[in-house]
Amino acid sequence: MEAITKNEGQNTQQLQHQELQTSDPMTKFMYALKAKESKRQYPRRFKMFLDFLGLEGIVNEQAKQFLLNTKSNPQWTEDRFMDFVSFQLERVNRGEITESTIKNYYRPTKLFCEMNGCAQLINWKMISRGLPRGRQAAHILSVTD
């Protein structure tokens, strides 16, 4: 019985690996982007996260490796993304970026996972709790004469 379960796990992992070899996760990611500015910014911001993870290769190879890691170990992705947010918070403290910029890295990564069928494996609510709220837009006061 145990050998059957082990074989099923190996078969599932092999199928996932074959799926990654035949499909390009970045193509699915780009498919979801409609706005011209999003098509320009999202891949760049997602690549910054992939580079932070230390994944080798061009963005397509990094994306495949990230997807494989996420599907086999979602906890790894949650932990690494929280590390990434912590790194970005350090940048906020040094004055390099604003708090609201951090969410701009969260959105592309979440969209990538949604488009590649692994978003449900990750606890996004837990990750988003660590994101700073950022500054609110200025309130417009109505002036009466």
Structural domain range at position 62? 24-129
pTM reported for the whole predicted model: 0.76
CA separation for the pair 95, 118 (Å, rounded): 34
State pLDDT tens for residues 20-44. Answer: 445 899 999 999 999 999 999 999 9
- Answer yes or no: is 3 within a domain: no
Assess if residue 135 is contained within a domain.
no
| Number of domains composing the chain | 1
Provide the Cα torsion 74, 24, 131, 139; round to 10°. -150
In a domain, 19, yes or no: no
Residue 68 within a domain: yes
Could you tell me if residue 74 is inside a domain? yes
Query: pLDDT (tens digit, 9 = 90+) per residue, 87-99?
Result: 999 999 999 999 9
**Residue 144 resides in a domain:** no
Residue 9: inside a domain: no
Structural domain includes residue 35: yes
